[in-house]
Structures are given as structure tokens and as C-alpha cells.
Structure 1
Amino acid sequence: MKSIVKIVGISVMAILMVSFSANAQSVVKVKPAHKTVFVKQKGPRGKKVVVYHPRWAPKKAFYRRWVYFPAYNLYWDNVRELYVYRKGNVWVTSVTVPAFVINVDLSTAKHEELPEEKDSQDVPEK
């Protein structure tokens, strides 16, 4: 009787180990938002600098919240990760690429980062 209990116990343990290892292989790690914070060493204290890597140009580094594309009258918000553009008399925000720039490579398009003075004050507080 004790041997049967041991065999059943070992079998249950083996099944649990196999099921946990199968689940562990299916776990997907999700990367955080494309934002990096690093410290620049200037003086005795370092200065925190936020670097953004937008999804349309993951290898480029941007240091400001807003990126403006003058040829398309299109803005990219690095904080909220969305596009802002005018459609008629209305400002539209979209997380997907607007239809009028769907075939444009924004990583090579002319753009400029807007300085902080031209930035709005609606950054969420941390």
C-alpha cells in the first residue's frame, strides 16, 4: 500500500513538473514602453535624461516630447505614443499610423523636435 502511495505521489510530482515546465516555455516577456532613462555625469551629481525610441524609428534617439513632421503637418507624442494631426477643423489623436502617411518612412522623413517652451503642460505627473 505504501509503495502504491509513493508511486502515485511521484507520478503526480512528475506531471506537475512537466506541466510547469511547459507553461514556463510559453511565457512571453513584454518590453516596457520605448523610453530609456540614463544619467549624464556633469558635475558632482548626474542629470537624469529621458531618451525616447518611437516605434516608427526604434534605433533613433529623441530627447523631447514632441516630434513634428512639417511636410505632413503631423506630430508624434513620445510620452503618450500617439500621432496628432488636423483633419478639417478638428485635431485628431491616433495610436495607429494615419492613412495619409501609411506609406511614408517617418524615420527618414524631415522632422524636428519641439523645444520645451513650445510643449504643453499636460504631462502626467509621476
Structure 2
Amino acid sequence: MGLQVWTAFHLSYTFAETEPARKKQRVENGKARRSTSTMDVTNKSASKSATKRRIFFTEAERQAVEAGFLKEIRLAKVPGKPDVVNFVKQNPTFSKYPWTKIKFAVHNMINARKRKEMDSA
């Protein structure tokens, strides 16, 4: 009885239902690439024309970030979102920047400090 139930259950599934669909690959310039639909290609070309220009921190803003996250920089700890949001509340001039930009600025300051220590050693 158990074998019949298992067989009926097993036969109800097909190989196509259990295996994920795979995209066809094509070879370009000696490398295998996944084929893309025409919609993907148009979206890629549209995003290239809509690239954003980089906005750099001014020297005063950079010094304010460095002073605000001095503890994190010394501990080599990248601040989390709550830390950055609190910093933005205390310094409203940074409200025009996304919190991730400030976080990555601190991250880059930490890496620069590490590089500087490695070069001097």
C-alpha cells in the first residue's frame, strides 16, 4: 500500500516542474554568455544615458563627517543606518545625501587610515 501511494505521488510530478528553467547560452568573443531578451538590452542602454554625476563632499562636510564618526573611524567600525540617521538629524546640511553615501564616506576614511598606517609601517 505504501509503495502504491509513493508511486502515485511520484508520478504526479514531472521533471520540468522540479528543475529550474535554464536560459540558453550563446558564445560571444570566445566566452559563453546568457542570452538576453531585447527588453533587457534596451533597459541597459537607457540606464547608461541616465548616469548620475558624482557629487563630492566639500572640505567642511568631510571634516564634519570625520568629527561626527571619530569613534567609529578609530575603532575601524563602519556605522550602521541608525548611527548615520542620528548624525543627519544633528547635522541637517547632510539631509540632501542618502544615508549610504555618508556610510561609504566613513568606510573610505577607515580604509584610507588603514592604508596610511600600512605605508608608514
What is the TM-score normalised by the length of structure 1? 0.26
Structure with greater strand percent: 1
Q: Write 1 or 2 for the structure with the bigger share of helix.
A: 2
